[in-house]
Amino acid sequence: MIRHAVLFKFKPDFPPADKAAWIEGLSRMEGSIPGLLKLTHGEDVAKNDRSFDYAIVADFNALEDLEVYATHPLHEPLKKYSFPNSEQIIAVDFPL
């Protein structure tokens, strides 16, 4: 199994409607993308200086399933919200 973790630091002017659409899109992916076993996501509550704003954690059967997810039709449209509205995005993929 592979765990995919992504952290987002948003720009201050991320439009609320776009952010809501992005979060709604994230919620639609679990159970709809082959090989995606579990997807959790949420906003940071600690608000520390070192904190990022949002996290996604997704579990996959295999690395190949992560590749399917990366270009899946439910995932692709979300990039138009996250990339232009983020100051920084970091990710790590590791075996479980």
**What is the per-residue pLDDT across 12-30, written as a single tens digit (0 to 9) for each?**
999 999 999 999 999 999 9
**pLDDT at residue 77, rounded to an integer:** 96
Q: List pLDDT tens digits, range 30-74.
A: 999 999 999 999 999 999 999 999 999 999 999 999 999 999 999
Contact 83, 69 (CB under 8 A): no
Confidence at residue 44, expressed as pLDDT on a 0 to 100 scale: 98
Which residue segments constitute the domains of the chain, with CATH numbers given?
A: 2-95 (3.30.70.100)
Pairing of β 2-10 and β 36-43: unpaired
